[in-house]
A and B are shown apart, each in its own frame.
Chain A
Amino acid sequence: MSLTRFLLRRLLLTPFVILGVAFISFVIGRLVVADPVRAWIGEKASEETAKIMIERYHLKDPIPISFYYYLINLFTGDWGVSPVSGQPVLPTIISRIPATIELSLFAMLLIIIIGIPLGILSAVHKEKLPDHSSRILALIGMSSPPFLIALFLQLTFYYQFRIFPSGSRLDPSITPPPTLTGLFLVDSLLVGDLMTFTISLKHIFLPALTLALLNIGTIVRLVRSTMLDVLDKDYIKTARAKGLKERVVIYKHALRNAMIPTTTVLAMQLGAMLGGSIVVETVFGWPGIGRFAVESVLNLDYPSIIGISIVFALAVVITNLVADLFYTFLDPRIKVD
């Protein structure tokens, strides 16, 4: 199958995925609390206000009918208005998503630059000190609850050592760089504002490190096991027998093949992080979509919850698509289909 056809097919399938996600989150929302009006407007608000809300959100209509109203609006770009904040959902999500993308990408960068070398090191020095150390690190990261790591890093590097700030994307006294991509690190570099870049870097480091520590274990262990697998293969023996330097054998011959399953997992992790890292964003006051998600869930703000679910689904779909395309680059024998 050609690449264009593959892409076309994937893109055509996407609306159905979105439709499914929207429908499921809509139904779950309506089934959990059929009449969330009082949670939105408060116990004391008048019956008249409640009536307006019920009508506006079609709460008395059967689920399929109110879903129909929702869908019509969705496809015209109107994702509804939050009954709690009175803000339209789509612009709110759009304003919040760059912070989450920046955080996820930076965390991904940390995972790659720390995780992959650690994995290789573990494989090459199997059952030796580096292997054990990286295994323990991996286990700690994988088995700790997110809030524990987040608070621990905050306690250590903000409160105790005063190296990093406690939260936010930037200091209030600093004007954010002009919006080109929405990512402060990239934008400040593009306009050549090194000071803002350094401050952004300081702010993003702890939340990104928390995210990285949580996810790094999987990558370290995966790279290690696939590398061990590959290093046993005949072609590696051949490469060594040819007298190639060990570094070339490992990085050029072995790693490239070991990267295929790793890419899948990395893509999955990125997709999950793009859906918002609820705990990390809450602890560090990172104004991303994860924190918006928590607030929406607590307020039973269904239009926002469904909107966030759709974005989450889109993130997973897109990252998986990118991963699939990346395979063909890693191994030209693989054909997309």
Chain B
Amino acid sequence: MSGEKVEKKKISSSLIIAVVVIIILLAALVYYATLPPKVEVVPTTIVQTALKTETLPGTTIVRTEIVTSLITTPPPSYTKTIPSTPISGGTLKVVEAYEPPGIDPATDFTAAGWAIIKNIYDTLVEFDWKEKKVVPELAESWTISQDGLRYTFKLRKNIVFSNGNPFNAEVMAYSLRRALLMKQSPVYLLGPLTPEGIKVIDEYTLELTLTTKCGAFLQLLASPVASAVDPLTVEANGGVIPGQPNEWMNSHAMGTGPFMLKEWVKGDRIVLERNPKYWGPKPYLDRVIIYYRPEPLTRVLMIKGGEVDVAQIDLDRIEDVIGTKGIVVERIGPTFGVGVIQFNTVKYPTNDTRIRKAIVHAINYDEIIRTVLKGYGIRFQGPIPKGMPGYDESIEPYQYDPELSKKFLAEAGYPEGKGLPSITFMYPLDFPGGALIAQAIQADLAKVGITLDLLGATRSTFTALTNLPLTDPKRPELRGMFWTPDYFFEDGYTFMVGSDWTIIRTGYNNTQVRQWTEAAAVELDPTKKFELYSKITKQVKEDAPYIWLVQVEAFVVRRYEVQGLYFDPVLTPGFHWQSVWLVP
């Protein structure tokens, strides 16, 4: 008996010791792990957010605008001075979230893929996002016929691919025909161009004839799908099979651009190397290594740990990098990416314009931008974003006005929302901050008496429910989307309100809006074009087929040494690495 007692006592004491030792060990590890590494913390970036409030003359509407300014100061203890002229050399390391599925210009239709393609391949013309105009690239000049159907390009001479093969009009014609024949996702970006419309006039003259007029054609020709590929390389590796992708071209590359594909370790990284045969200004960097890490925290650790120079950081992780020595959070300003919510205008109750208007006026947009998006966004009047020529500043975006919202509800026969069935809002789960935005909207709508059911959907659910007919009971009344530009032209946005796609996805079919959209797409006179887009904006605001939520602002997280980043919204979060250089 006494022996057993002794045994029991022993067990408990050793158990206690074990638990205590392990807890202490773990606590010590956690403590050390969460300590900032041995660097001095200096605030490098201060984001100032203030509210500017004014009462609009003659109304009771109070307009609140968020005034956000950013001060980027070099860290005081940083002794490095930025030289006035760029310096050549060095390896830039970048971490992004998503790896491109493929890099064939004729096939890939992802931002990640375009960010690689644009650094390896060239197009006839390029779009300068700073000056907002089309500039020459492989073509040194061009003329457009009176009827707007025939484009004649004079090509640059002495351009070779990085393997030494020459570039000429035949090569360009082959490249465009190839994309048209393969008919992969981005082919629609070649607009009204057909293989028959491509004609080689002489070695350095190419003529493209369109089937219909297209105002955006030059901008479209700056798309990766219109890149020049080396015919000899393509023919040696699978050639062109109509309607099918080319396996080899999807994981290899041969272009005339500033960089070459050095290595692609799928699931890990892509390495680009300076193309010594590049015809234009030589890139400063010797090499660019782009790591792909979907885990947001890993990306934070990689830039804070100094392993990479530029990182794609999610908005909800931005506080983790602000204030770290040597890291600059640079605000880029409004991009052409817009957050929108589509109404199902066929199904009850959102088939009633008054219900839709009640909803658009019940949402406190400014508050969502300020809290969820941390000020990284501006109000969006929809469908045309600020910064495009067709944007009409005189048109106000939807105002947050719960009283007006209640009035619309009462007019529709649901005073205080009584008797109104609940409405389902489907949003993509993979969109950072999507759930928070959805909850904010839900709370705002509840204030006027509208019940919103939230449906955060994975990619498969989202696609499956989107495929349902608009009248299906399971089809959500509201569908959230993030719309990004593929090229610089308004019709990429009016597509949301005036195309066949609009009818399939929302049921909204205003013949007048469609006519204006079609007319604007081929209108070459800027004043008339502007008027048409202004009319579309006003009419769509009246019909309310969408909730125009926000036009987002971009920011880049980089190390202080990284200079010369040029922002191209089409490639976000990638960049044109040609202009980038490193302070040694």
A residues within 8 Å of B by Cβ?
A: 32-36, 38-46, 48-49, 52, 56, 81-82, 84-88, 92, 95-96, 99, 127-129, 132-133, 136-137, 147, 151-152, 154-156, 158-162, 166-169, 172, 281-288, 291-292, 294-295, 298-300
CB pair B269–A42 under 8 Å, yes or no, is no
CB distance A172 to B305 under 8 Å?
no
On whether the beta carbons of B293 and A285 are closer than 8 Å, the reply is yes
Q: With A133-B18, A172-B269 as known contacts, state yes or no: A87 contacts B251, CB within 8 Å.
A: yes
| Contact of B183 with A52 in the complex, beta carbons under 8 Å | yes
Task: Chain A residues near B21: list those with CB within 8 A.
Answer: 133
The smallest C-beta distance from B48 to any residue of chain A, in angstroms, reads: 30
- A86 close to B293 (CB less than 8 A): no
Which residues on A sit within 8 Å (CB–CB) of B18? 129, 132-133, 136
Distance, CA A204 to CA B427, complexed state (A) = 38
Is B291 within 8 A of A299, CB to CB?
no
Pick the residue among B22, B34, B186, B250 that contacts A87 (CB under 8 A).
Answer: B250
Interchain CB contact under 8 A, B459 and A298: yes
CB distance from A283 to the nearest CB of B (A): 5
The CA of A32 and the CA of B459, in the complex, are separated in Å by: 11
Chain A residue with the shortest CB-CB distance to B21: A133
A38–B466 CA distance with the chains assembled, in angstroms: 9
Q: How far is the CB of B354 from chain A (nearest CB, A)?
A: 28
The answer to whether A33 and B464 touch across the interface, beta carbons within 8 angstroms, is yes
Report whether A52 and B250 are in contact in the complex, using a CB–CB cutoff of 8 Å: no
Please, what's the 1-or-0 string for B8-50, where 1 marks a CB less than 8 Å from any CB in chain A?
0011001101110110000001001111010000000000000
Residue of B263, B295, B462 with highest tally of chain A CB at under 10 A: B295
Task: Judge whether B37 and A160 touch: CB under 8 Å.
Answer: yes
What 14 new A-B contacts, CB under 8 Å, besides A166-B302, A286-B268? A34-B467, A41-B109, A45-B109, A49-B184, A49-B187, A86-B101, A86-B246, A127-B15, A166-B307, A282-B293, A285-B267, A285-B291, A285-B298, A292-B267
Q: Is B548 an interface residue (CB 8 A)?
A: no
CA A41 to CA B265, docked complex, whole Å: 24
Known: A52-B243, A85-B102, A132-B15. A137 touches B292 (CB 8 A): no
* Nearest-Cβ distance from residue B328 to partner chain A, whole angstroms: 20
Quick check: is B430 within 8 A (CB to CB) of the other chain? yes
A81 touches B265 (CB 8 A): no
* Residue B129 lies at the interface, judged by CB distance under 8 Å to chain A: no
Residue of B nearest to A127 (CB): B11
Q: Are A300 and B463 in contact (CB under 8 A)?
A: yes
B247 engages A86 (CB within 8 Å)? yes
Tell me if A132 and B14 are in contact (CB < 8 A): yes
CB nearest neighbor in A for B505: A43
Determine the chain B residues whose CB is within 8 A of the CB of A88 once the complex forms. 247
Cα A160 to Cα B243 in complex, Å, equals 51
Give every chain B residue within 8 A of A133 (Cβ-Cβ): 18, 21-22
Q: Would you give 24 A-B contacts (Cβ < 8 Å), ordered by A?
A: A43-B501, A44-B188, A45-B109, A45-B188, A52-B243, A82-B101, A86-B107, A87-B102, A132-B14, A136-B18, A151-B295, A151-B298, A154-B298, A159-B301, A160-B32, A169-B268, A172-B263, A285-B267, A285-B292, A292-B267, A295-B101, A299-B101, A299-B459, A300-B463
Q: Is the CB of A137 within 8 A of B247?
A: no
Residue B387 at the chain A interface, CB threshold 8 Å: no
Indicate whether B432 reaches chain A with its CB closer than 8 angstroms. no
| B451-462 interface bits toward A, Cβ cutoff 8 Å, 1 = contact, 0 = none | 000000001101
Quick one: which of B482-500 are within 8 Å of A by CB?
A: 486, 492, 495
Q: Which of A45, A56, A147, A299 contacts B243 (CB 8 A)?
A: A56
